[in-house]
Structure 1
Amino acid sequence: MATRHGAVGDGGAPGDSGLGELGYKEELDRSLGKFASFAAGVSYISILTGTFQLFYFGFGTAGPAYLWSWPMVFVGQMAVALCFMELAAKYPVAGSVYNWAKLLGSRIVGWSSGWLMLTASIVTLSAVVLALQLNLPRLWSGFQIIGDGTGEYDFATNAVILGTVMIAFTTAVNAFGVKLMALINSTGVFVELIAAVLIAIILAANITRGPDVFFSTHGYGAGESGGYLSVFLVASLASGYVMYGFDTASSLGEETVDPRRTAPKAILRAILASFVIGGAILVFAVMAAPDLEDPLIGSSEGGLQYIVEQVMWGPLGKIFLVCIVIAVTVCSLAVHAAAIRLTFAMARDNALPFGERLAHVNPKHQTPVVPAIVIGVLSAFILVINIGQPQIFTVLTSIAIIMIYLAYLMVTGPLLKKRLQGKWPPKELAESGYFTMGRWGLPVNIFAVLWGVGMALNLAWPRP
């Protein structure tokens, strides 16, 4: 294809981009700075989207003690993130997971991880935009366009309409280039971080119970063959759904200034900020909830939004719901953007049908426009499944998360093999001052692989 070259082109920082070694030329608009790179990772994880979208599931399945899955998932994903940071310091390229798996393993491994990640990203975009239905009608009843929300399909159908509008928006923004996407994304993340910190502070100021609430099963798991552990592992999906996508900072590496230094730091900051702030919101919400026996807390009709509305003064609660909608918006933008870069990366290697068309970069906006449209259409199509069969959509979302963990495993596994063979990390990383784990690399990598296998098995384990 025309996108393959033996040397890097003139755009950006050729000597420090890592593209020349891979045989690619500079085609994308290299204009993202440190905060924009950090914002890309944070917005994909999205503190206010994931925590608010699935809190009800975790709490309703395993009660307050399900929150122990938050640090558990963080430790595992942090090990994965550290491995990704080393790789980003060497290869900060579009479609990061796909390219890393290809370089560390083989073209087949890369192709497999790419397809897993791409399929999961499209489903994830559909799942994220559904969060609008949990928030917009709470702000104004006019957002409940279909019926009054009590009909059999009112909720699901309205969610599809709101979600489709959001996908149309993210498609248009991403098609206009990375500068517009980064401006909206960075602004939204700034608002999200401030709102998240304020929500945590206000919840902390209204706590009604002590931390002992997290050390009791509260009757959850009674009658289950595996006891509380069985429901806890199911509930951990709520945390596992949030803490991934930090590799987005590297996936936008071809559009980032000084990516080999910027991307690793952005990955670290994104996962740390999400863990600390998101964890504070979850902990203080449980401690501040007026009545933990209220069935709405464990219901999709209530959840974390319900607690926030109960604790906060009316108008203030509405303001924070607006911030959650902003978070959902930038999360959707980031997921869409990452999927576009993955499509572009695979297409220029002819790893996708119609590769030449999908890899075409619009000369005016310096971005792949066709992938933006294709991903938007496919995500909107998947949304329609939610109208008549929301259970099927839930299954699809769960499978998508498994796919992402498997795709990550296709990177950490081959990386571990390279370490054991003495072929990683390259000496050039330490010598040039780029990020490397040094002697901690092997134990961290081993743990990352074990974590990936364990989490994938947990998510895929058949349950009644």
Structure 2
Amino acid sequence: MSTSNDHGLSEFGYRQSLDRSIGKFASFAAGVSYISILTGTFQLFYFGFGTGGPAYWWSWPMVFAGQIAVALCFAELAARYPVAGSVYNWSKRLAGPTTSWLAGWMMFTASVVTLAGVVLAYQVTLPQLWSGFQLIGDGGGAHDFGISAVIWGAVLILFTTVVNAFGVKLMARINSIGVFIELIAAVLLVVILAVNVVRGPGVFVDTHGLGEGHTGGYAGVFLVAAIASAYVMYGFDTASSLGEETVNPRRTAPVAILRAVIASFVIGGLILLFAIMAAPDLSDPRLSTSSGGLQLIVLQVLGGPLGKVFLCCIVVAITVCALAVHTAGIRLMFAMARDNALPFGVRLARINAKTGTPVVAAILIGAVAVAILLVNIGTPQIFTAVTSVAVVMIYLAYLLVTVPMLVKRVRGGWSGRDAGGHFSLGRFGLPVNMVAVLWGAGMSVNLAWPREQIYGGGVLRWMALIFIGIVAAIGLAWFRLRGCRRLGTLPEHQADRGDRLVDELS
């Protein structure tokens, strides 16, 4: 174990340049806020319910079963490699430079697009609090919803950019407060919905005839509806992506990853369960629209004033979710730039002397996310398709970690003893890793499948293959032709020889 004050960072060839101040709850909050129970369930309920009916709820435990296997693998990696840009750095130590660069590139691109997608949730919730939050028209015009969504989204991105630029302490404080509010609100919502149930659990085995005429029957419909759950339960690796800023990261980050996934599964699953059982009328067509959905059930069951209090909590959840997504993207960009694995790496990896954060990276990600938002004004179908593809890219990035990890296990190159007494799956590592790979591959295919319900008609149906192919081709072309020749830790980020010697002797 290292005795240097960088928590073993010099072991990986880096010097401590980020501000190490994140504690246990803040680390847990980072993972929870990225998953964001209230943001995801409220933003996507209408799609899951509208596609699969009440029985779509079973996709929630199904997705959890797959993602907890991935989270367990990540917890092991977090204990061994507590370095910024989790997915990129993990893959770098499990596979070759091309695989790790592609994992980082996929995850980074997806994170920027995801940020643009998350901030649009403001428009889904704010006008239900007060009609004045519909900034353009009355919401009935062709472009009213889209333009208002872009404006609110840009405001939120400006906020997350400023907070991230000011330093990790401010980010962690705001994020922790927001997550605390979100968790309290979520638990209270579960209790209130449970008290107001009007139907029994039998509703969850009634398919309402939705599989009739569909290829594969209800199973085919269910796979489509399951996307609503798959779109929520990811991003838990954020707790480890902040490893260089976390106190005692080898112990803190693995626990934070697992707690974030489990807490999100339990609370989010109960909200969906009791909301369906408490909804006054499951045949109400508004439950299957983005302007109604779960928000409508809350307002109907809780009544106007109390329902709007909970909607305010959803706004808080959306805010910290966007903050966490932005933060994770910054750390990934910093990690890759520090290895000179991105163009203009020196500038992107530069740490501001006053704030202790990579300010240029924060501003650049914010600017690109706002630019992506502008697509939503005239062609929302394309934006929806691209944001859906971003989730596929995250699942693929996870596979670029779990597959090399499985290969290393099979070849006998992975030992639990290397964890230094911290989190290890031991003899369960191989079966858990196999489940993580099979799950990730299966869900990636399901998410990318050319469905009109997800991507639209015509050529948009193939958006997943087209977009991912273009992103991968452009990225790999630059990396193979130029980037791979420049790889190497930038001098200003290299560990001092003295720190390295301490790690070697420890």
After the TM superposition, which residues 211-250 of structure 1 pair with which residues of structure 2 at under 5 Å, given as runs?
211-250=201-240
Q: Which residue of 2 aligns with 1:5?
A: none
2:301 aligned residue:
311
Superposition deviation, residue 463 in structure 1 = 2.3
**CA distances 1:117-142 after superposition (whole Å, capped 9, x unpaired):** 00100010011000000111111111
Partner of 1:327: 317
Q: What letter is aligned with 1:439?
A: R
Question: Equivalents in 1 of 2:445, 2:106: separation in Å?
Answer: 16
Deviations 1:370-418 (A, max 9, x none): 0100000000000011111111111101110100000000000000011
Is this contact kept in 2: 1:9–1:26, CA < 8 A?
Answer: no
Q: Following superposition of structure 1 onto structure 2, how do residues 136-147 of structure 1 map, counting pairs within 5 Å?
A: 136-147=126-137
CA contact (8 A) 1:348 1:356 kept: yes
- Matched ranges for 1:139-158 at <5 A: 139-158=129-148
2:424 is matched with which residue: 422, 436, 453?
A: 436
Query: Cα distance 1:161–1:9, how it changes in 2: closer, same or farther (>3 A)?
Result: farther
| More moved, 435-444 vs 225-234 | 225-234
The percent of aligned pairs where both chains have the same amino acid is 69
- Please tell me whether residue 96 in structure 1 is matched to residue 86 in structure 2: yes
The yes-or-no answer on 1:360 pairing with 2:353 is no
Show the counterpart of 1:83: 73
* Equivalent position SS for 1:462: coil
SS of equivalent to 2:374: helix
Aligned to 1:462: 450
Compute the displacement of 1:18 (Å): 3.8
Tell me whether 1:405 sits opposite 2:385 in the alignment.
no
Per-residue deviation, 1:146: 0.5
What does residue 255 of structure 1 align with? 245
Partner AA of 1:121 in structure 2: S
> Are 1:18 and 1:90, in contact at CA under 8 Å, matched by a contact in 2?
no
Query: Is the contact between residue 47 and residue 289 of structure 2 (CA under 8 Å) also seen in structure 1?
Result: yes
Q: Which residue of 1 aligns with 2:181?
A: 191
Please tell me the residue identity of whatever aligns with 1:287. M
Aligned to 1:451: 439
- Residue 290 of structure 1 corresponds to which residue in structure 2? 280
Alignment match, 1:3: none
1:30 correspondence with 2:17: no
| Dislocated runs of 4+, deviation >6 Å | none
Query: 1:435 Cα deviation (Å)?
Result: 0.3
| Structure 2 letter corresponding to 1:125 | L
- 2:416–2:425: 8 Å Cα contact kept in structure 1? no
1:14-51 CA distance string (max 9 Å, x none): 3xx34222111100000000000000000000000000
Contact 1:45 1:242 (C-alpha < 8 Å) held by counterparts? yes
Following the alignment from structure 1 to structure 2, what is the Cα–Cα distance between the partners of residues 353 and 142? 43
- The alpha-carbon deviation at position 433 of structure 1 amounts to 2.3
Deviations 1:275-334 (A, max 9, x none): 000000000000000000000001111000000000002110010010000000000000
SS in 1 for 2:424: coil
The one-character-per-residue Cα deviations of 1:320-351 (angstroms, maximum 9, x if unpaired) are: 01000000000000000000000000001111
Aligned-partner Cα distance in 1 for 2:221–2:264: 24
Equivalent in the alignment of 2:471:
none
Match of 1:421 among 408, 411, 416: 411
| 1:221-256: CA deviation from partner (whole Å, max 9, x where unpaired) | 211121111111111110001100000000000000
Unpaired runs of 5+ residues, structure 1, are 1-7
Please say if residues 157 and 387 of structure 1, whose CA atoms lie closer than 8 Å, have aligned partners that are also in contact: yes
Q: Per-residue deviation at 1:461? A: 1.3
Query: 1:70 corresponds to which residue?
Result: 60
Instruction: Tell me the residue number matched to 2:104.
Output: 114
Once the two structures are superposed, residues 44-74 of structure 1 have per-residue CA deviations (whole angstroms, 9 ceiling, x without a partner) of: 0000000000000000111111111100000
TM-score by length of 2: 0.88
CA distance in 2, matches of 1:96, 1:386: 30
SS at match of 2:353: coil
Distance 1:286 1:363, change over 3 A: same
Distance across 1 between alignment mates of 2:415 and 2:345: 32
TM-score when normalising by structure 1: 0.96
* Equivalent residues of 1:89, 1:435 under 8 A apart: yes
Determine the C-alpha separation between the residues in 1 that align with 2:294 and 2:187. Answer: 15
Provide the rounded CA distance (Å) in 2 between the counterparts of 1:96 and 1:67: 31
The runs of 5 or more residues in structure 2 that have no matched partner are 453-506
In the alignment, the residues of structure 2 paired with residue 18 and residue 155 of structure 1 have an alpha-carbon distance, to the nearest angstrom, of 50
CA distance in structure 2 between the partners assigned to 1:110 and 1:207 by the alignment:
49
The whole-number CA distance in structure 2 between the counterparts of 1:395 and 1:208 is: 36
Deviation track 1:153-212 (CA, whole Å, cap 9, x = no partner) reads 101110000000000000000000000000000000000000000111100000000111
Answer whether contact 1:360 1:368 (CA < 8 A) is retained: yes
Question: How many Å separate the matches in 1 of 2:116 and 2:356?
Answer: 26
Deviation at 1:103, TM superposition (A): 1.0
Aligned partners of 1:201, 1:426: CA distance in 2, in Å? 41
Letter of the 2:383 partner, please give it: F
CA distance in 1, matches of 2:388, 2:124: 19
**How far has the Cα of 1:426 moved from its partner?**
4.7
Q: Counterparts in 2 of 1:364-403, with a 5 A limit?
A: 364-403=354-393
- In structure 2, the residue corresponding to 1:28 is in which secondary structure? coil
Q: Tell me if structure 1 keeps the 8 A contact 2:416–2:426.
A: no
- Report the Cα distance in structure 2 between the residues aligned to 1:235 and 1:324, rounded to whole angstroms: 22
Distance 2:266 2:83 in 1: 28
Query: 1:433-463 deviations in whole A, cap 9, x for unaligned?
Result: 2000011000000010000100001111122
Shift of 1:9: 11
**C-alpha distance in structure 2 between counterparts of 1:34 and 1:121, whole Å:** 24
Distance 1:343 1:24 in 2: 16
Which residue of the partner structure matches residue 277 of structure 1?
A: 267
Instruction: Note the 1:53-64 alignment, pairs <5 A.
Output: 53-64=43-54
Q: Is it true that 1:350 corresponds to 2:344 in the alignment?
A: no
Say which SS state the counterpart of residue 24 (structure 1) adopts. coil
For residues 220 and 418 of structure 1, what CA distance do their matches in structure 2 show? 44
Q: Distance in 1 between matches of 2:370 and 2:353?
A: 27
Q: What is the one-letter code of the residue matched to 1:416?
A: L
